[in-house]
Chains A and B, each alone.
Chain A
Amino acid sequence: MRWRPGPIFIILALAALLPLLDVVLPPKMQLCEAVRGVFLYAILALGLNVVTGYAGLLNLGIAAFMAIGAYAFGILTCEIYPFQLGFWPALALTIPIGAFAGFILGAPTLGLRGDYLAIVTLGFGEIVQDVLKNLDVVTKGTQGINPLPAPTFGGSEWTAEDEYKWYYLFFALLVVTVFAVRNLERSRLGRAWFSIREDEIASRSMGIRVERTKLIAFATAAAIAAFAGGLSASVLSSTGEPSNYDFQISILALCIVIVGGIGSIAGVLVGALVMVGLNSIVLVKATAWMAANGIGSQGNVLLSPNNWKFLIFGLALILAVRLKPNGLIPPRIERAKQ
């Protein structure tokens, strides 16, 4: 059988070549910096995809784990605390810390079904923000923790100007996440997740330990989200304030998963490109272009495409559910059936 490149490979290959496009584009239209955001949200959404896409547990609080990762990264690296780890060890530590947080939330709540679990995770997302805001002895409250160190590798440092270095750092970490998630998906564990999503009673009757399997999904998702959080804190050089990790982020991640294709890695990557790309590339560039050509005005709120974000999110979600209920790139077995 000849090897044919799968959709994941094609998407990642295109992403790897994107900086070449920037060479020819005019400075104002360059994409790399904005695509970094796509990569970040793709990592977050890949995490959400594990718990919501594979195991079928609706999690509306994924941003909380991102916040936990960001603050863990901040506390571990910032010079106002004694730990002062480097970028790599701190980023690596966000993974077990996130997994532990997922375990703490998951262990008592995974007996809940469907909607109830969604409400618990939603509440958790709000509580984490409030805790981070009010625990200012530890988290510096609304100031956020900063400055955070930039990554270094083999003696060279990533500075704010090194756009391509950041781009490829994000790209490499996305690739690592994609492979980790893909390896889990195509294993005994992934199969058990799917079986629980399909029919919990049947899968329990086949000897699957449902609670344990769900808990692993929860912790894995939380770990990946925390990893994304650490990364985002590093690139901003600050954890930002707790309300940066609010419900909107969770919903954006969920939109990415739904629009792209629930349970499909390639779908999540495309979904991230569509949703985040619309938001931080198309709308931003359109606003810049309109301003440059004198269309619209600062005074008119409606004429600035930046403000159309939620309108477009809503539209994209409705169109996706209406026209492509399985997502832009459905998971493999779904494709086989069509």
Chain B
Amino acid sequence: MSVLRADGVTVKFGGLVAVQDVHFTVKQGEIYAVIGPNGAGKTTLFNAVTGIYAPTDGHVEFNGREIVEPLTGWVLFKFVCAFFAVGIFTLVGLNVETIWTAVIIDNYKFDQPFPWSVAATSWYSTIWSLPLVKNLLPLLIGGGIGVGAAAVSWSRGRRAPDHIARSGVARTFQNIRLFNELSLIQNVLVGMDYRMKTGFMSALFRLPRFYRERREFHESAKKLLDFVGLGDRAEQAAGSLPYGFRRRLEIARALGGKPTIILLDEPAAGMNPSEVVGLMALIRRVREAGTTVVLIEHHMRLVMGVSDRILVLQYGKQIAEGIPDEIRVNPKIIEAYLGSEDHG
């Protein structure tokens, strides 16, 4: 069964075609590698998959459907709210002096009880006794701006990285992007954040469910740190970790959300040979724990050692796909990496 499917994905930056018409399918429980020379568009492909860039063309499907936030009744309700909120704000803002005078000043006599019922109806008649340019027009124009802004921000956010991450696609970054000032366990907890349920009020008033949730997630964050072998450093700042461990922490953080699929962008970069061996074992354990793995890597021993299938990119185009043994002997790939004999 396919977890991730790219269908004709193209990413252009102006005239530069970074990724062109890439098709691939990643099956459940697989370790899938994307390789290619520097600048081949591997990271751009990852960014297009995780929503950091919008693909110029093509589709990305997870579990058989494209991850875009659906246009639900709740979204439409928010648009209606935006219409009335901004519309009424504009209307009141334009006429605040008139309304205030009619409702408060005209009704209020010092030392006498305020006629609330009169005031509660007089705002309405005051507004509608104004000329249309001062009531209906601002309401419509303001409301239009409100709906427009809400619609634009909604459509921009439909394929946003946060939405894709929440659907179960986690990732790590080529240039490690940890939260350096936070401790290791807090980094993992950020990765778990969208699984948490308690909100502002339970944090502010420290309700029992806040403590329950905190205990629960701290325990599982500890377990995840143990899983990647960093359990004894939980309280240390992430910025103080040695380089090789930072990649592991990124993996732990990405696993925090219990993703169905995890994208690793050059996890072995900058690691020494023994760390690479440890990383290979970790990647296999991640797969055994039920997460499908897609990885970008230059380190051939790692790629050939762990991958089930390999996709090769060059100049943004896919030039081959297959199992490691096929890729190893494919002359096109040897050419892409080492150059052909003709060009010396």
Residues of A within 8 A of B (CB): 79-82, 104, 108, 111, 135, 137-138, 180, 183-184, 187-192, 194-195, 198-199, 201-211, 216, 331, 333-334, 336-337
- Could you tell me the distance between the alpha carbons of A50 and B171 in the complex, rounded to whole angstroms? 29
Min CB gap A194→B, angstroms: 6
Min CB gap B220→A, angstroms: 14
Does B135 sit within 8 A of A, measured CB to CB? no
Contact B177 A202 (CB under 8 A): yes
- Could you tell me the distance between the alpha carbons of A188 and B194 in the complex, rounded to whole angstroms? 10
Contact A205 B181 (CB under 8 A): no
- Could you tell me the distance between the alpha carbons of A199 and B235 in the complex, rounded to whole angstroms? 20
- Could you tell me the distance between the alpha carbons of A207 and B163 in the complex, rounded to whole angstroms? 6
Min CB gap A328→B, angstroms: 18
- Could you tell me the distance between the alpha carbons of A214 and B44 in the complex, rounded to whole angstroms? 27
Chain B residue nearest in CB terms to A83: B114
Chain B residue contacts of A81, Cβ below 8 A: 104, 108
How many residues on chain B are close to A (CB under 8 Å)? 57
Pairs of residues from A and B, 5 with the lowest C-beta to C-beta distance, nearest first:
A187-B203, A82-B114, A207-B165, A207-B194, A202-B177
Contact A82 B108 (CB under 8 A): yes
Known: A183-B206, A199-B179. A206 touches B89 (CB 8 A): no
Interface contact tally, CB-CB below 8 A:
124
Interface positions of B from 121 to 161, Cβ below 8 Å from A:
149, 153, 157, 160-161
Contact B210 A135 (CB under 8 A): no
9 further A-B contacts with Cβ under 8 Å, apart from A138-B97, A201-B52, A202-B178, are A81-B104, A138-B96, A187-B203, A187-B210, A194-B186, A205-B52, A207-B162, A208-B194, A336-B235
Known: A82-B108, A208-B193, A334-B181. A137 touches B204 (CB 8 A): no
Known: A191-B193, A195-B190, A336-B237. A204 touches B179 (CB 8 A): no
Residues of B within 8 A of A (CB): 50, 52, 89, 96-97, 100-101, 104-105, 107-108, 110, 114, 119, 149, 153, 157, 160-162, 165-166, 170-171, 173, 177-183, 186, 189-191, 193-194, 196, 198-200, 203-206, 210, 213, 235-237, 239-240, 253-254, 256-257
If over half of A's interface residues share one DSSP class (helix, strand or loop), that class is named, otherwise mixed; here it is helix
Most chain-B Cβ atoms within 10 A of its Cβ — which of A188, A195, A336? Answer: A188
Contact A135 B97 (CB under 8 A): yes
Known: A104-B89, A199-B179, A206-B253. A337 touches B166 (CB 8 A): no
Q: Which of these, B50, B204, B235, contacts A205 with CB under 8 Å?
A: B50
